[in-house]
């Protein structure tokens, strides 16, 4: 969608992302079996780190996905490479589009904007059991890179699922001289 925007979340947006995280983590229970805490809430223990000095130093960045004035989801980006071990590799920590905005190009537009904003090496990982996420990311990354990516499944102890590895921004430099 051409009117999809990826906006870096301010501290004031943290409660909005925390609330959206409830829907996201609830959906993830189908794949990871995790349940709510004793208060009926789903906890994401790293969320606060996206607004701390140490978190920012580790390149943890929170984003809202917006369509016009409406909030359509969120994306959390950081650096945690399980494949290359490179401190320069960006990763999608979490990515969520509300169901009412799915299948309209919102997720693709937000992901593409995220990749363009941070050119260089990327790793995108999915849970082994989340086949819809695997299809989404392979489609988006395949289109973004014109098929120039690798899907790996090395099963390091930190992660159990497929990982797409690619260089963001490479298509921009190819098109600049054409």
Q: Which residue has the tokens 């650096």?
A: 79
* CA pseudo-torsion sign 164, 166, 169, 174: negative
pLDDT band at residue 19 using 50, 70 and 90 as cut-offs: very high
Question: Residue 178 has what pLDDT?
Answer: 41
Question: Residue 13 has what pLDDT?
Answer: 97
What percentage of the chain reaches a pLDDT higher than 90?
67
Q: How many CB atoms lie within 10 A of CB 46?
A: 13
Q: Please enumerate in sequence order all residues whose Cβ is within 8 A of that of 156, keeping only pairs 6 or more positions apart, or say none.
A: 82, 83
**Does residue 24 have a pLDDT over 70?**
yes
Question: Residue 177 has what pLDDT?
Answer: 45
Question: Residue 171 has what pLDDT?
Answer: 62
The alpha-helical segments, DSSP class H, found in the chain are 14-32, 53-57, 106-117, 131-145, 170-176
Global pTM? 0.89
Q: pLDDT tens-digit profile of 65-121?
A: 999 999 999 999 998 887 877 888 999 999 999 999 999 999 999 999 999 999 999
Q: pLDDT tens-digit profile of 123-150?
A: 999 999 999 999 999 999 999 999 999 9
> Please, are residues 90 and 59 in contact by the beta-carbon 8 Å criterion?
yes
Domain 4-176 falls in which CATH fold? Aminopeptidase (3.40.630)
Spatial distance between the Cα atoms of 120 and 125, rounded to a whole number of angstroms: 16
């Amino acid at each position: 969608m051409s009117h999809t925007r990826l906006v870096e979340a301010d501290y004031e947006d943290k409660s909005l992302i925390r609330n959206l995280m409830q829907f996201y983590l609830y959906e993830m229970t189908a794949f990871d079996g995790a349940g709510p805490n004793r208060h009926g809430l789903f906890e994401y223990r790293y969320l606060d780190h996206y607004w701390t000095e140490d978190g920012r130093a580790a390149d943890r960045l929170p984003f809202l996905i917006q369509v016009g004035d409406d909030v359509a989801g969120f994306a959390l980006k950081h650096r945690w490479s399980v494949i290359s071990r490179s401190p320069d590799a960006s990763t999608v920590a979490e990515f969520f589009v509300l169901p009412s905005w799915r299948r309209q190009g919102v997720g693709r537009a937000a992901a593409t904007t995220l990749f363009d904003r941070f050119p260089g090496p990327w790793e995108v990982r999915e849970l082994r059991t989340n086949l819809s996420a695997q299809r989404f990311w392979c489609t988006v990354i395949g289109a973004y890179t014109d098929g120039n990516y690798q899907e790996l499944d090395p099963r390091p102890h930190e992660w159990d699922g497929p990982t797409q590895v690619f260089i963001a921004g490479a298509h921009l430099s190819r098109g600049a001289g054409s």
